[in-house]
Amino acid sequence: MIKVSIYRNKSGYITAFELSGHADSGPHGHDLVCAAVSAVAFGMTNAVMKLSGIEPIIDQGGQGGYLKVVLPSEVEDEPFKKATLLLEGMLISLITIERDYGQYISISEK
């Protein structure tokens, strides 16, 4: 199962997310849930960098089953708002995947 952790600051903005595990919804290379979650997460990370100019702190590891993306703590207001809007969009996409494939993905907010 893919576990998604969403981290919010005291103001309620998403400042980080973490993905761990594997969906195992199909054979390696044909796992549609894994592909969907990866596309959403990596696409959002690339969009944050390109559209907000923020370089997030990225940690990848293991056998492809781990990704953590954290917005730096010292970011100007306008780029931060752009980045957090993109993160909210990512969460909506992940919730949509969870709604249809909940046996393979679990989302929690912290």
Query: Which residues are tagged catalytic?
Result: 22, 34
Give, for 75, the enclosing helix (H) or strand (E).
none
> In the block, which residue shows the tokens 């594997």?
22
Phi first, then psi, for residue 73 (nearest 5°) are: -75, -30
Q: Report yes or no: 6 and 93 within 8 Å, Cβ to Cβ.
A: no
